[in-house]
Every structure is written in C-alpha cells, then in structure tokens.
Amino acid sequence: MKLLKSVPLHVKILIALVLGAIWGSVFSVQSDVFIANYENNSNQSESIIADWDKIEIQNSDVSYSRSEANKFFNYVGKNKPINVVIYQQNKAEILLTIESIKKKETFATYLRPIGTLFIKLLSFLAIPLVIASLIVGAASLDNIKKLGRIGGRTFLFYLATTTIAIGIGLSLANLIAPGKQIPDSIKSEMLSSADNNIDADISSKMEIDLLEFVVDIVPKNPFKAMSSGNMLQIVFFSVMFGITLTFIEKEKSSVVISFFSGVSDTMIKMVDFIMYLAPYGVFALIAATIADFGYEIISTLVWYILTVILGLFLQNFLVYNSVVKLFGRISIKKFLSEIRNAQAIGFSTSSSAATLPVTFECVEKMGVPKQVSGFVLPLGATINMDGTALYQGVATVFIAQIYGMDLGLTEQLTVVLTAVLASIGTAPVPGVGIIMLVMILQSVNIPPEGIALIMGVDRLLDMMRTITNVSGDAAVAVAIDGIESKGKQALI
C-alpha cells in the first residue's frame, strides 16, 4: 500500500493505460455475434445470433458474410426495423424483423460506466473553470493594451501552429500516398460499401458561411451558451466581462474578481481530487475502447493510420519542442515531463474540453502564471486543434486518392484555409473532427460519403490527435509566458 502511494500519478496512469489495453484485448467484443431484438408473432423477443454464414437484407441485393459483420451492424443501426434472412450451414433459413441490435457485453465493456463517470467529472469542471479563469485572466491584464497584445500573439501562435500542422499533414499524405498503397480490388470494395455506411445527415450539404460564423460567436443569452456548452460563445462573453470589469470602480470590481478567482481555485483543487480516480478511469476507458475496436479494418488502412501518426509525432517533436525552446522559459525536458498527464487524459478521453482542467494543472507546474494560462488555455481548447487539422489534411488527400482524384495546388490551399476555419469551429469533444471533415471535402468537391472509408478507425485517431491538440495549447501558453516575461525584463 505504502509502495503504491509512492508511485507518481503519471506512472500510475501509464500503467493503467497499458493494463487497460491488455484487459480490453483479452475481453474483446466478438464483432460477429449479435443480440437482436426482433418481432415474433407481434411479440418482442431477444436472441443471440451467433451461428450464421450469411445475412441477407430482404427485398434488396445487399448481403453480408461473417467477415463483414461490422458493416451489417452499422447497416442495421441506421435502417431499423429491418427484415433479414439468416443463412446457417445446412440449416433452414431464418426470417426475422430486427428492431434493434447490440453486441454482446464483455468484462471489458462492463467497465465503460466507470470511464464515463470519469469523463463526466472532468467535463463538469471545464465550463466553470473556463469562465472563471478567463474573467480573472482578462481582468488582471489590467489594461486593454496588454490584453490586446497577449490576445493578438496567442491568436497568431495558434494560427501559425495550425497552418504548419495542415502543411505537415498534406506533405506527408502527398509523399507517402497512403491511398495509392491500397490494391484496386480492395479500393472498389471500399467505395461500394462507403455509400451504405454513411449517415444521411452527414451527406447533406455543409457550407462555411464566414459571416454567419462570426455573428454566431456572440451569444444572445450567455446562460444558454453555458448550458449548451458553446465554447466560442462562452469565451467571448467571459473575455468581454473580464475587460469590462477593469472599467468599473475598483472597490466593486475587486470583489467580483476575487469571487471568480476563488471559483477558479476551487475548480483546480477539484481536479486534484478527481485525478486520484484517473488510473481507474483511464483503465476503464481504454479497456472498453480496445474491446470494442474492429481490428479487421486496421490492415487495409494501415498506411493511412501510420501517415497520421507520423504527422502528429512530427508536430509534437519538431513544432512544439521548437516553440518551447525558442520562446519559453523552461527546458523541453521539463515541458515533456509535465505535459504527460494531460496527454494521457487527452488520449483516453478524446476530449480537449474534458482534459482542460488537467492541462491547467500541468501548465501551472511548468511555471506559467494563471494570468497567462487562464487566458491562453481556454482559448486554445476552443479554437486551436492542430492534431485535428493535421489529420484532416491527411484524410482529405487519402480519400481523394481512393476516389482516384488528384488534388492540385489550388485545391490543397483551399484545404489549408478550410481546415484552419474548421479547427476554430471544432468543438473540443470526441469525434467532431471527422464531422468537420465533411466541410473540407465538399470545399474541394470530394464526395463527402468518403468519410465512411475512414470512420472505422476514427476513434483510434481521435485519441491520438487529441494528444496533439492539448500539447499545442500548452506549448503556446509556455511561449506566451516566455515572451511576456522577456518583455518585463527588457523594461527593467
């Protein structure tokens, strides 16, 4: 027990990650065994479909073999109730009207509620923390000039790192050409099933309307923005609130500032408590995710996955390390050792918003004052998604390659522009990056159904890109702090 207490938290989280992955692989979900809820003589019954060779969708020419079980599962998810004919070896065909379908739970997926609980605990902190720290941050920058300077620099850094990220993504995707590594026969099979797997609402037109986007940043009702978790609107309101505080009588503003400062400290303290649960939460999240993962698809998409991972690694290794080295006050070693907890939580929750409280803690340990982190980090969690932008760059080129399209320079520049905008508009929660990808694909006339080609591995890449998203925010916070403190020294 004493030994366990002396193990540092980040080591415990790392061990939990590894053990969770092992547990999830041992108790993995069988992708070809289903529990179906079906209608039988107008009564509802439930039974396990385990022994089957082929399932045919009645009155259509669509059928699935056992190796295509995941595709069948997705199909039923979107088209229920559905009449199917089940073929079993040497047995009579069975006709069922399936109402709903689920996979069989295992010892790994049973743990999912623990993981969900952990994500919820972190997420409920995020919004009060963003509001309180932004208000205190903006108010304590005591004059509008300083706020403008820090705000401007932060924005420029975020813009630059995101543009570089897309650049890396596009360059690698052109160089490695992951879509061209796939044999033509598999390509055509992928394309024919892409149409079946697409959500109807995703295939509808999504367009970027810049004006509407800007107008939308201003909330009509800040409380509604808070309750619906609209981060951009929350950021706008809190910064305005913080700035305006500096314009009223000191006697009154100091009470409000110390109130929000207390709220912010309480939230950070709560993170400390919740982090005691991190190893259990991480274990459960990873175990359930790994158990549920369809490994079959990895082999076809291996080049694509590797290209994204290589890009994310380069973004962390080259870009963030350089940002810290050139502008920060701390060593790269210190940055890397302090950011580990945020990276592990980002990886297991796939959410920059849920990770934000932990990122705050890590950046505080790097010596960045709250005045800076309180402003830079919430803004970053909202508008800075380098990992997502990089992934979108690779995904766009990959999908184009599968469709046999070649993207010229103008089209690739359009991708850069749309991905920067998409990154600002991407909500910091799991799986949004792939939805925003639809917009990018449409901007260069690639069929948006193409996202079905990569959906199967999206969760894995979401986990990876979230690591980069949170590391990018932290690196910029370190840089802004470095620049600010150098400015102070110069004044002295």
Binding site for ligand ASP (CB under 6 A): 350-352, 385, 388, 426, 428-433, 462, 465-466, 469
Q: How far is the CB of 353 from ligand ASP (least distance, A)?
A: 6
* Angstrom distance (rounded) from CA 242 to CA 131: 10
Q: What is the DSSP string of 119-152?
A: HHHHHHHHHHHHHHHHHHHHHHT-SHHHHHHHHH
Residue 229 three-state SS: coil
* Angstrom distance (rounded) from CA 482 to CA 477: 9
Task: Pick between residue 84 and residue 165 the one whose CB is nearest to ligand ASP.
Answer: 165
Task: Pick between residue 238 and residue 388 the one whose CB is nearest to ligand ASP.
Answer: 388
Task: Pick between residue 301 and residue 437 the one whose CB is nearest to ligand ASP.
Answer: 437
Task: Pick between residue 194 and residue 432 the one whose CB is nearest to ligand ASP.
Answer: 432
> Using an 8 Å Cβ cutoff, are 392 and 419 in contact?
yes
Task: Pick between residue 264 and residue 392 the one whose CB is nearest to ligand ASP.
Answer: 392
Task: Pick between residue 383 and residue 479 the one whose CB is nearest to ligand ASP.
Answer: 383
Q: How far is the CB of 60 from ligand ASP (least distance, A)?
A: 33
* Angstrom distance (rounded) from CA 420 to CA 372: 24
Q: Which one, of 76, 118, 116, lies nearest residue 97 by Cα?
A: 76
Q: What is the DSSP string of 38-92?
A: EEETTEEEEEEE-S-SEEEETTSS-EEEGGGHHHHHHHHHHS-SEEEEEE-TTS-
* Angstrom distance (rounded) from CA 72 to CA 412: 35
Angle between helix axes 112-140 and 352-365 (nearest 10 degrees) is: 60
For the chain, state the CA radius of gyration.
Answer: 24
Task: Pick between residue 28 and residue 355 the one whose CB is nearest to ligand ASP.
Answer: 355
* Angstrom distance (rounded) from CA 351 to CA 203: 25
15 forms bridges with which residues in the sheet? none
* Angstrom distance (rounded) from CA 365 to CA 477: 12
Q: How far is the CB of 176 from ligand ASP (least distance, A)?
A: 21
Residue with the closest Cβ to ligand ASP? 433
Task: Pick between residue 24 and residue 380 the one whose CB is nearest to ligand ASP.
Answer: 380
Q: How far is the CB of 469 from ligand ASP (least distance, A)?
A: 4
Task: Pick between residue 243 and residue 416 the one whose CB is nearest to ligand ASP.
Answer: 416
Q: How far is the CB of 458 from ligand ASP (least distance, A)?
A: 8
Q: How far is the CB of 215 from ligand ASP (least distance, A)?
A: 24
Alpha helices for 93-230 (secondary structure H): 112-140, 144-176, 184-197, 200-203, 210-216, 222-228
Q: How far is the CB of 434 from ligand ASP (least distance, A)?
A: 7
Q: How far is the CB of 350 from ligand ASP (least distance, A)?
A: 5
Q: How far is the CB of 4 from ligand ASP (least distance, A)?
A: 31
